[in-house]
A and B are shown apart, each in its own frame.
Chain A
């Protein structure tokens, strides 16, 4: 316990527990994971809120993320500066959302942001193409990609504006049987 106290105050831990889906232990473990990425950068004392950011290169090299085709987007979405450089808070946030306890709506919201590559709050065709190409590692032909994009928009675009809004996305994703189980990182 004493060891833990030096990293966070009890209040901090409490607050983190309230703000994430993690237990105290998990938070500490996440902290160590975070720190392990750059031991020289991250202090062991977080009681006075040091302003530390880890660059995306480090975050993206985590085994949990490094094979994920969307890792860059994930880091960007969850980092406060939008560049993928993460503070501990962002880090906790990210894994909280991706934990299995997070509710569907929250996950859907962030999934939407992840797939919305150009940050315009709509998933448009270019976003879809990017998603597909990342997903399939450019294995699909251009025609196939095009067709899939069209089909996707055709299926999910409820207001026929040719792009998916968050509403559309949630409507669609809430009916997906395996979304919850796949949008999930175990750490």
Chain B
């Protein structure tokens, strides 16, 4: 019993191994060898044999060592119990130790180095992993709210990472150098607070509006000095400022695109088409890492949530509503959304405009007036999404689509806000950067006139009433005239002061930076407020007031706040957009954003865990991760545009910032190139930037893009093709299932009145005919087919004729392979039911050859019997995707129907190409062949055989048999030469004896190996099935080789060596059994002989029992022949065979017990 269970386990294991082998075989030699190692494990003797052979063949030895090493290297990836792994490992080690020569030293170093690297990498990785922030927090949230909500936090964390990098970039290359080496605060005009502002510089009010000290600090563009080189090291701050500004964008782009590529790769892996949502939710749901009860609880809840989600989603698919209403509703909704968008944009523009006007009109602005813009913008960003959500309910989209729509709309809204804001700002900037010149020039004019006027006061005063033309002058004159000259002086200083202030105020870059920072701050405040008010307070109210309220607060109106993933993610994106927009003008913005994100992380996670409920229908946001990223990318691009525009379009401020005095900000690059680089470099640069280079480069880029796109398209196309193929395969499968069911229904009926082995449905017979025709085309023995057609009337004759043909074929083709090819055709003939049915002798003629093949085939069949159909299919698929559809069909047949398989057997011996030529699906059948079929075949063969064999010496009076005899006698010699490929007529006792004799001999010669193998015997058994399968895949020609052992060169052909062994395995098992049951067996055989002599196939009554026996006998005889021939002729070959045989004998024990 234990052995039986062992077998089951083994088979499953081998299933896995075989499967693994197949899937990865193509590209991984490692696995391949692993597979080989399986074999080795099972037949260590092969290793042992190798050893013997190796001694004189260093190449082989080396290979063997390699194999063993691969065993050692891969043993850990075997699904074996440890005990077994240890054993195999020990053996492999011993072998390696024994034969490993000097060549391994360098290799040892190599592996040691690789190990070290691996370890280092692992340690580093572990360290890195521990530094990932908020892992626990996110896990906790995940377990509460599922992957969707967690995805928000993961996204937040990712943004946090980006911002940290940005902060480091700006901090280390711009802010720190400026602080350390730049001119200290107060030394230059751009770094000093104007006196008149000094008093109010520390006021909260000023600070709040980012004026005063804050304005004149590293926070903003204006503070940075324009000295080309600062510090003793000559740090080029302006250049660094510009480069970092650009690098911020470049880095963001790169990191974003990389992330997107990775995501899309992942989503490709989980191909959109293959939908395993439920499977994954069930089988991959549990996180085995979870190690505390609370988390487990959460995870359980999350899984339930997840599965429900999937169910809901599934049900959503089935919903349906009337189209017309829906469409009109959707149109309405879109109109509403558009209106609100336009409204929000108008409001923002209006507010900015108003604030500008106010600034101009009023000297003192109230707090509201100062912050009007950012407050309005923040309010809109807060309120509009909810409005959109309401609108979205009109549309009745699938929740996921509506989520997408919602996201897109909110994104557009945010973008509109930012853009209208920045455009309004740039408007202002425009006026700012243009007015200073005029005003200053105006002022200089006026001042000069004033001074000149003051000098000419008396004169003018005299002529005052006469000259009252120019208003300005007259006022000045009035001033001068009415007040003293002191007043004039005062008048002069005031304008100067004013002018200085306006100059500094005119630092539009700082202004933009201030606005962005202000916006960011206000946004943060609003976020916090909304979380506290809308979520927290609401949660409190709902929880504690629900008792004293007339309706249920928790389920009706206020409810608990839901966590809206989409809006929140978008808010993050929006926030990041502001940062990108302002980063150039306010280098500390990323740093501020880092702080903001940290705060947001804690606040949000706290809020989520305390006062939010999971969204009722949480949809996998992780899938739309790339959607978020795409939006972020979009945002980045759009936020970069204004900055770039400002850089390119506007002149930098005259008196502040690192670029003051330059015509354009980017001039810093060309200046640097011109002044700080060698001459040749600037020359090269000028060449490179000339249209001659740039245009072709752009062209090249376009070409590249086009090419890549074409490739992508073609890949997509092939992808689709493959997918379609897979689908058809699957549908084909389903069809097969139905057919199979039909076949099952048929077979019982057939078996009722026919012999069990002759249950052939119509389809197989058709196939048989197909086969014959195809074989005809192949053409080595064309005349064989015609007999089949006549079969009913002249069956015996035709058969014998075919047999003769066969022999002739042999004669003509001294080489065996052709003969093998011929054989199949003959086999086809006996297969049709009717002929065999009626005339027993008929099949016999062919059998001489066919049985031989059978002898080889059964192993695969037997071993396969353990396996399930799917496996086969898979192997086939993996091997021959092209044929797949047909193959599957064939398999299905094969699985249940014996008859067809026979034909396949025939085909098996042919080269692949021919299989393809012949009826497409049939080739696979052999794989599915059931052992019973084989057994059934054998009996007949034997039956007829033995009679035949006997007749040979004492001829009998049977026309057909005589014919056969003749054939055999003629063919005998050739067959002999062909190493007893066909079963030589021999008396049964002889078979037995000889077989045994051989076994003994082999055992002696290979005792060592046997001993070794005994240990792994079980393993062998387990693997037998698997190997059989594999063998079936790639050893098609091997049967022939086995039969033509002369050709089998053990040294050179490794596969053949394996395969024959496999083939023999089951036969030998049975043979072994046969030897045990010898007396009884013989008796049975005798009876069968008599029966067969009477030429009745109807011996069927005990056929199944007897069949196995006979089958065994056949094998014996075959082996005997092999043995005898080999022994007499080639000792070395004997050895190889002996090897196989030993294997069989070893393995037999278990099998016998099973039987």
Contact = CB atoms under 8 A, between A and B. Distances in A.
Interface in A123-181: 128, 131-132, 135-137, 139-140, 144, 147-148, 151-152, 155-156, 158-161, 165-170, 172-173, 175-179
Contacts of B293: 67
Contacts of A103: 77
B870 A18 contact: no
A183 B311 contact: no
A186 B274 CA distance: 31
Contacts of A137: 300
Looking at A20, A182, A184, which has the most chain B CB atoms within 10 Å of its CB? Answer: A182
Interface stretch (A1-9, A36-44, A105-113): A105-113
A158 B75 CA distance: 30
B794 interface: no
Given A67-B293, A136-B304, A152-B278, A172 B283 contact: yes
Given A144-B307, A177-B266, A19 B82 contact: yes
B295 A67 contact: yes
Interface in A78-93: 80, 87, 89-90, 92-93
Interface residues of B, number: 68
A143 B303 CA distance: 17
A168 B733 CA distance: 14
Given A128-B282, A136-B300, A172-B283, A19 B871 contact: no
Looking at A68, A113, A115, which has the most chain B CB atoms within 10 Å of its CB? Answer: A68
Interface string B279-314: 111111111111111011000110110011011001
B528 interface: no
A140 B346 CA distance: 51
B304 A176 contact: no
A93 B83 CA distance: 10
Nearest to A20: B76
A176 B300 CA distance: 19
Interface extent on A, as a size class?
35 or more
Contacts of A21: 76
B286 A68 contact: yes
B283 A111 contact: yes
Interface string B69-98: 000100111110111011001100000000
A167 B283 contact: no
B870 A158 contact: yes
Contacts of A168: 870
A99 to B, nearest CB: 10
B277 A155 contact: yes
Interface string A8-39: 00000001001111010000000000000000
A116 B763 CA distance: 37
A98 interface: yes
Contacts of A160: 733-734, 737
B286 A182 contact: yes
B270 interface: yes
Nearest to B267: A177
A15 B90 contact: yes
Interface stretch (B14-22, B637-645, B1048-1056): B14-22
Nearest to A173: B283
A64 interface: yes
A147 B308 CA distance: 11
B276 A155 contact: yes
A175 B20 contact: no
Contact of B290 (A67, A128, A136, A159): A67
Nearest to A89: B82
A21 B310 CA distance: 36
B89 A135 contact: no
B773 interface: no
Given A18-B75, A185-B288, A93 B82 contact: yes
Contacts of A58: none
Contacts of B304: 136, 139-140
Contact of B83 (A63, A70, A80, A105): A80
B541 to A, nearest CB: 30
A159 B300 contact: no
Contacts of A167: 15, 19, 870-871, 874
A69 interface: yes
B100 interface: no
Contacts of B76: 18-21, 96
A121 interface: yes
A39 to B, nearest CB: 22
Looking at A96, A147, A165, which has the most chain B CB atoms within 10 Å of its CB? Answer: A165
A54 interface: no
A51 B89 CA distance: 20
Contacts of A121: 8, 11-12, 15, 868
B1152 interface: no
B771 interface: no
A91 B266 CA distance: 33
Contacts of A148: 278, 281-282, 307, 310-311
Contact of A176 (B284, B301, B737): B284
Contact of B282 (A15, A132, A165): A132
Contacts of B311: 144, 147-148
Nearest to B891: A159
B548 interface: no
B271 interface: yes
A117 to B, nearest CB: 13
Contacts of B383: none
A24 to B, nearest CB: 11
A183 B269 contact: no
B77 A68 contact: no
Contacts of A19: 75-76, 82, 85-86, 89
A93 B275 CA distance: 33
Given A19-B89, A105-B16, A158-B730, A63 B284 contact: no
Contacts of A23: 119
Nearest to B86: A15
B921 interface: no
A176 B270 CA distance: 6
Interface string B1-42: 000000010011001100110011000000000000000000
Looking at B307, B308, B314, B870, which has the most chain A CB atoms within 10 Å of its CB? Answer: B870
B19 A170 contact: yes
A178 B280 CA distance: 9
Nearest to A136: B304
A60 B368 CA distance: 65
A21 B115 CA distance: 12
Contacts of B81: 80, 89-90, 93
B816 interface: no
A152 B282 contact: yes
Looking at B75, B86, B270, which has the most chain A CB atoms within 10 Å of its CB? Answer: B86
28 contacts: A15-B86, A19-B82, A19-B85, A63-B292, A67-B292, A68-B290, A89-B82, A93-B81, A105-B23, A110-B79, A121-B8, A137-B300, A144-B308, A147-B311, A151-B278, A152-B279, A155-B275, A160-B733, A165-B868, A167-B15, A167-B870, A176-B270, A177-B269, A179-B284, A182-B284, A182-B286, A185-B288, A185-B289
Interface of B: 8, 11-12, 15-16, 19-20, 23-24, 72, 75-79, 81-83, 85-86, 89-90, 119, 266, 269-271, 274-293, 295-296, 300-301, 303-304, 307-308, 310-311, 314, 730, 733-734, 737, 868-871, 873-874
Top 9 A-B pairs, shortest CB-CB distance: A89-B82, A67-B296, A151-B278, A19-B85, A159-B870, A93-B82, A179-B284, A109-B16, A182-B287
Given A105-B23, A176-B283, 17 more contacts: A15-B90, A18-B76, A87-B82, A90-B81, A93-B81, A109-B79, A136-B303, A158-B730, A159-B873, A161-B869, A167-B19, A173-B279, A175-B269, A176-B280, A177-B270, A178-B284, A186-B289
